[in-house]
Chain A
Amino acid sequence: MIATFLSLAPASIGGALEFIFTPQDSSVTGGKQVGGFDEVLELTLSQLELTLLALGLSLLVALPLGLYLGHRGSGELFAVVIGNVGRAIPELALIAFMAAAIGVGVLNLTIALAVLGIPPILANAFVGIHQVDRATVDAARGMGMTEFEILRKVEIPLAIPTLFAGLRGATIAIVATATIAPLAGVESLGDFILGENVYGSNGVLAGAIVVALLALTLEFAFAGLQRLLTSPGLKPRTT
């Protein structure tokens, strides 16, 4: 390990930071310059766009279904199995299969990523709603609330932590897989990470750093959103 560290053309943090901000010569002699803030930003936005599209699609499909089933209390096995199986889907195989079967491109990739995002959102939506104290729900029903009102005013606010846990799980899976989007013909920060040939080892490290920052930023954003949406009456969880 040490020998490899010493002998590889060193990718240094300084080199990576330089890559992020100023264009460099490509590793391919005579090639165009690469790197620099514009290109980094472009690929970051591309990955962000892909992530948000996939999240949106996942929420659209999984959230209503999960909330409904959780409220009804039926389909527990279904939700649990989906949650577990979803976790088991190998990302590389999914991307490769989608690329070979339905083709490359943003639209197709969004569907593939949604396949990864749906299980955690669905399972957590179900569990979050279902685990709301029955006595509380009954009390609300006794007060004359409609089923929809119960869901909206009682169950969802109480399930916020669990719902957000599902959302964050989906985001992490989607961001991670969006990183290898270049394999399926869509630009993302994975272009840097998988493209040592063009971007050099500094570019690879730079890509990894920016992806990590992107993931952490989204995480913070959702954590903040969760805090915002958590009713002040509820004790803040140490999540």
Chain B
Amino acid sequence: MTHKSEIDSSRRQFLNGSAIAAGLAIAPGVMLHQVANAKPADQAVSSDKRWGMLIDTNKCSKGCDACVRGCQTENGWGENETKSNPDQLAQWIRKVEVRDTSTGFSNSLPLMCQHCEHPPCVDVCPTGASFKRADGIVLVDKHICIGCRYCMMACPYKARSFIHEDLHDQLPTAPRGKGTVESCTLCVHRVDKDGDNAIPACAEACNAEGHEAFVFGDLKNPNSRISQELAKHGGTQIRADLGLNVGIRYRGI
């Protein structure tokens, strides 16, 4: 080998190596950009997104509780508590019938944790077990929940439930147990897996019935379906006067 080719081959190797390194460095970015919809499992959630729902109550009928049953099946509540009396049973989502006594107008809507931007339950929790994730979902960290029920006192929507007895046969995606407080998680296990394509169980069950009253999506993304519908039709907050800036908006109330 001549001196020239030695230099050439080592230079070639260097360029090769750099190209590969650069490729490897860029590739994850390229891959991530391709799959911006779903968050990789090892990536932390960020406040770039804020998950919310828009519920069109005009599509809700009084007797229908598909959303409730969908949530029950997905999260494993409604059947396990055998010893609690009816007032002690957990309820993550419920149908509320509203009636204006002066006009006779009545309406029906599903009510669950509203995932407020300024949640009173998070403010009052002494241990920080009730917390708001960066992406706006309000959760209970049942590992550090001491079961004081102060968050239940503080929630204006009565969204939280306390477990009054030993539970068995929980679902792996929805751990729940005696002595802790729980509420709607906006199907966070689905959200983390499917991102923008996620659909909470209540919405899925509603769609299965053909009512399509729920829209789930990223409130911070102006191009998401929920943002577009909110911009077009508007959406009301329940108890907007409290200034909580909730993530669940309604049409038709």
Query: Do A and B form a real pair?
Result: no
